Amino acid sequence: MEIRKGIAVSPGIAIAKPMLIDSKDYRIPRRSILPSNRAREIQRLRKAFSTAISELEEIGSSQDIKKNNIQDIFAVHMRFLRDRSFRKRITDFISKELVTAEYAVSAILREIASHFAGIDDPYISERAADIYDIEKRLLIFLLGKRQEEVDHLREEVVILAGDLTPTQTAGFNKSFVKGFATEKGGRTSHTAIVARSLGIPAVVALGDMSSEVPPECVVIVDGYRGVVVIDPDEDTLSQYNQYSRQMTQFTSKLDELREFPADTRDGVHIQLMGNIEFPDEAQIVVEKGGEGIGLYRTEFLYLYGGQEPTEEDHYEAYAEAIRAVQGKPVVIRTMDLGADKLPHSGWHAHESNPVLGLRSIRYCLQSLPLFKVQLRAILRASVLGDVRVMFPLITNLQELRQAKMILRDVMEDLDEYAVPYNSELPIGIMIETPSSALTAGLLANESSFFSIGTNDLIQYTLAVDRANEHVSTLFSGAEPAVLRLLRSVIQDVHKAGIGLSVCGEMASDPEFIMLLLGMGVRVLSLAPPMIPEVKKIIRSVTIEECNQLSRKVATMDSHRQIKNYLRDATTRILPETF
C-alpha cells in the first residue's frame, strides 16, 4: 500500500482500477524551411487553427457540458485561437525565422506559458496549463498525431497522469472515469474547475507518483483530504467505502443550503460573495448561492493574448459578469499589475525587490493611458448593474486622492461625448498593507467601502514571502500581529460607517469564519466552491458564540495556539471536513 498526499481540488471519493495516461508532452526541434515554403507552413498553421476551433465548438456544445454550465471554461481557449494578433505573432515568427509551423507554435506558446508559470500568484501561474492545452491541440493536427482517448472504456477507472488539460477532463465519460490524480496542478486551474463542475473527485500536485502502479490493483482518490492510496489493504478499503457513504450524505445536505440565506442562528445576515478572475466564473458564483462578485481581478485581461486589451475588451468582459449576476453587486478591482504580474507589452523597470516596488495602484498612476482605458470601460459598464470600483494596494491618502482625481478626469471625458455612466459609482480600496491598516480612519473618510486583502496584508505584516519555500511556513493569518491589525481596521470602519468585506484566503478558510464574524465582519468574498461550506458554518452559530471565540483568541499569544483553537471550534460544526 502506498499513500500520497497532494492538493484536493474536487470533492468526492473514487475507488477503481488505475488507468495511466501519457501526457504526450511534445518537444519540437527547430527545423528550418526554405523561403519558398513560407506560404505552405502558414497554410498548415491556418488549417490547424480552424480544426482546433471546430473541435472546441463540438466539445462546448455537448449536452453534459451545457448541463453543468461550464462551456465558458473553454471561452479563453476559443478567444486565444480566434485572436488575430496571436495568429499574426506565430505567422510572423515563421516568416522571419524561416521555421516550421509546429516549431513556431511550440516556441510562442511556451514563451507565454513560461511567463504565466513564473508568476507568484497561484491562480495566474496555473493558467499556464491552459496555454499548454492549446499548444498540444494545435500540435496534434500539425504533427498528424492523436492523443490517447478514453472514450472506449468498458470498466470504471481512476485516471493517473502527469497533468491533464481542461479539454481532456471535460471529455471524460463520468460513467467510467470515477476520479483522477495528477503529479502537477493547483486548486484554481481550469482543469480543477471542470472537475468540480462535473463532479469528478480529483487530487493534484502529488509530485512524482510511483511508476510501478500494478494495473490490476485498486486506487483510492480522496478529493476531500487530498490523499491518493495505491493498492490499499482490506481495512483501508473498508474504511474508505464507509467514509464515501458518509461524505455523500454530507455533500447532499450542503447542496440543500444553496437556496437558504447565510443567516446566523440569531438572525444576523452575512453576505457571501465570490472572487473571480474571468467573466465566465460569475455564473459559478450564482450557482453556488453567492450574492454577487466581491472581487473581480482584472489583470488577467493584460496577461492573456500578448497585447494590451482595448477599451472594448474591458467593457465586454465586465458586461458579461454583470449580466450573469442579474443585479447583484460587482466589485471591479483595477489592474494589479507590476511586481511579478507584467503585461507582455509596455515598459517596466528592472527592480531588485518588485513586491515593494512599482506595482498595483503605483503602476496605474505611472501608466495613465493604460489606467484611463480601464476606468472608461468600468464607467461605461456601471450603467448595466450594481457596479463598484476598487483600487488595490493603497498605502496612503495621497494615492487614493490621485486615483480619484484621474477617475473624475475620465468622467469629464465621457461627459464631453455624452457617454452614460453612474456618476455616483461607489469607490473603495483594498486594505493590504500595515500603512493602510494603521491609517484606516483617515482613508475611510474618502472611501465608500474597504475590502481587506488578507494575503498581502499577512505577507507585508510578517515580512514573509509566501512563495519562498524557506519561510513560507511562517505565513499565517493566525499570527497575533495580523489579527490586531484586522481588529483595528474593523473598528475604524464601524466608526466611519462605510462598507467592509474580507476577500483574501482567510474568507475561504472554514477555520477563520467564526473569528471574522466575532470581529465584526458581515461580508465575505471567497472562492465560489467554498460558499456552501461557509454558509453551513454561518447557519450553525450565533454572533454571541463568535464574539466569545474572538475574545478568547485575543488573549492568546501564538499562531499555533490560535490555529488549534479555531480548528477545534470548526471541527465541532463540520467534523466531516477535518
Q: Are residues 352 and 477 both part of a single domain?
A: yes
Structure-block grid coordinates of residue 221 = 482518490
Beta bridge partners of 157: 17, 177
Q: Are residues 392 and 434 both part of a single domain?
A: yes
Residue 399 is part of a domain; what is its CATH number? 3.20.20.60
Which domain range does residue 289 map to?
259-542
Q: For residues 371 and 348, what is the distance between their CA atoms, to the nearest angstrom?
A: 15
Residue percentage of the chain with pLDDT more than 70: 85
Asked if 335 and 368 count as a contact pair (C-beta separation under 8 A), the reply is no
- The pLDDT, as a whole number, for residue 405 is 97
- What is Dmax (Cα atoms) for the chain? 79
Q: Using one digit for the tens of pLDDT, what is the confidence trace for 30-73? A: 778 888 889 999 999 999 999 989 888 877 676 666 655 566 66
Q: For residues 410 and 428, what is the distance between their CA atoms, to the nearest angstrom?
A: 17
From 217, 232, 247, the end of a domain falls on 232
Q: Are residues 295 and 403 both part of a single domain?
A: yes
Does any domain span residue 182? Answer: yes
Residue 47 is part of a domain; what is its CATH number? 1.10.274.10
Structure-block grid coordinates of residue 261 = 440565506
Residue 317 burial by CB count (10 A; 0-12/13-18/19+): exposed, middle or buried? buried
What's the mean pLDDT in 311-319? 95
19-28, 324-333, 356-365, 461-470: which has the highest mean pLDDT? 324-333
- What distance, in Å, lies between the first and last C-alpha atoms of the chain? 23
Instruction: Please say if the pLDDT value at position 22 is more than 80.
Output: no
Does any domain span residue 239? Answer: no
Q: Give the residue with greater pLDDT, 9 vs 442.
A: 442
Q: For residues 292 and 218, what is the distance between their CA atoms, to the nearest angstrom?
A: 42
What's the mean pLDDT in 252-257? 80
Residue 283 burial by CB count (10 A; 0-12/13-18/19+): exposed, middle or buried? buried
Structure-block grid coordinates of residue 347 = 515598459
Asked if 32 and 126 count as a contact pair (C-beta separation under 8 A), the reply is no
- Provide the pLDDT confidence category of residue 277 given band limits of 50, 70 and 90: confident
Task: Tell how far CA 169 is from the center of its chain.
Answer: 18
Q: Are residues 12 and 75 both part of a single domain?
A: no
Residue 295, H or E segment: strand 293-297
What are the C-alpha distances in Å from 456 to residues 34, 284, 432, 470, 476? 52, 25, 5, 18, 11
Strands 271-276 and 227-230: unpaired
Instruction: Please say if the pLDDT value at position 24 is more than 60.
Output: no
From 143, 172, 190, the end of a domain falls on 143
- Provide the pLDDT confidence category of residue 356 given band limits of 50, 70 and 90: confident
Q: Are residues 117 and 187 both part of a single domain?
A: no
Q: Are residues 208 and 60 both part of a single domain?
A: no
Q: Using one digit for the tens of pLDDT, what is the confidence trace for 71-119? A: 666 777 888 888 888 889 999 999 999 989 988 998 898 888 877 777 7
From 92, 125, 143, the end of a domain falls on 143
The letter for the amino acid at 427 is I
Q: Are residues 471 and 491 both part of a single domain?
A: yes
190 is catalytic: yes
| Three-state secondary structure call for residue 490 | helix
Does any domain span residue 577? Answer: no
The letter for the amino acid at 469 is E
Q: Give the residue with greater pLDDT, 529 vs 232.
A: 232
- The pLDDT, as a whole number, for residue 344 is 46
Q: Which residues, in sequence order, are CB contacts of 506 under 8 Å at separation 6+? A: 454, 477, 512, 516
- The pLDDT, as a whole number, for residue 126 is 65
- The pLDDT, as a whole number, for residue 152 is 67
Number of helical (H) and strand (E) elements in the chain, helices listed first: 24, 16
Does any domain span residue 65? Answer: yes
- The pLDDT, as a whole number, for residue 374 is 97
Pick the catalytic residue from 190, 314, 546, 559.
190
Of 537, 539, 538, whose CA–CA distance to 575 is shortest?
A: 537
Beta bridge partners of 274: 293, 526
Pick the catalytic residue from 77, 314, 503, 546.
503
Does any domain span residue 245? Answer: no
| Three-state secondary structure call for residue 158 | strand
Q: Are residues 196 and 310 both part of a single domain?
A: no
Q: Are residues 263 and 178 both part of a single domain?
A: no
Does any domain span residue 168? Answer: yes
- The pLDDT, as a whole number, for residue 383 is 98
Residue 187 is part of a domain; what is its CATH number? 3.50.30.10
- The pLDDT, as a whole number, for residue 467 is 52
**Cα dihedral 299/305/310/311 (nearest 10):** -40
Does any domain span residue 106? Answer: yes
Q: For residues 265 and 543, what is the distance between their CA atoms, to the nearest angstrom?
A: 8
H-type helices in 234-310, by residue range? 234-256, 282-287, 300-303
Q: For residues 333 and 375, what is the distance between their CA atoms, to the nearest angstrom?
A: 10
Q: Are residues 375 and 297 both part of a single domain?
A: yes
Asked if 425 and 388 count as a contact pair (C-beta separation under 8 A), the reply is yes
Q: For residues 307 and 297, what is the distance between their CA atoms, to the nearest angstrom?
A: 18
Of 221, 278, 317, 262, whose CA–CA distance to 7 is shortest?
A: 221
Q: What is the mean pLDDT of the chain?
A: 86
Q: Are residues 189 and 299 both part of a single domain?
A: no
Q: For residues 296 and 301, what is the distance between their CA atoms, to the nearest angstrom?
A: 11
- The pLDDT, as a whole number, for residue 93 is 93
Asked if 506 and 483 count as a contact pair (C-beta separation under 8 A), the reply is no
What are the C-alpha distances in Å from 505 to residues 32, 274, 339, 409, 460? 49, 12, 20, 34, 15
Q: Are residues 116 and 224 both part of a single domain?
A: no
Q: How many CB atoms lie within 10 A of CB 417?
A: 6
- What's the structural domain count of the chain? 3
Q: Using one digit for the tens of pLDDT, what is the confidence trace for 150-170? A: 656 778 999 988 888 776 787
Positive or negative, the CA dihedral 409, 410, 416, 420 is negative
- The pLDDT, as a whole number, for residue 340 is 47
Q: For residues 317 and 298, what is the distance between their CA atoms, to the nearest angstrom?
A: 9
Crossing angle for the helix pair 397-416 and 368-381, nearest 10 degrees?
60
- The pLDDT, as a whole number, for residue 147 is 46
Residue 55 burial by CB count (10 A; 0-12/13-18/19+): exposed, middle or buried? middle
- The pLDDT, as a whole number, for residue 146 is 47
Beta bridge partners of 431: 452
Does any domain span residue 238? Answer: no
Structure-block grid coordinates of residue 531 = 460558499
- Picking from 134-148, 319-333, 345-359, which range would have the lowest pLDDT averaged per residue? 345-359
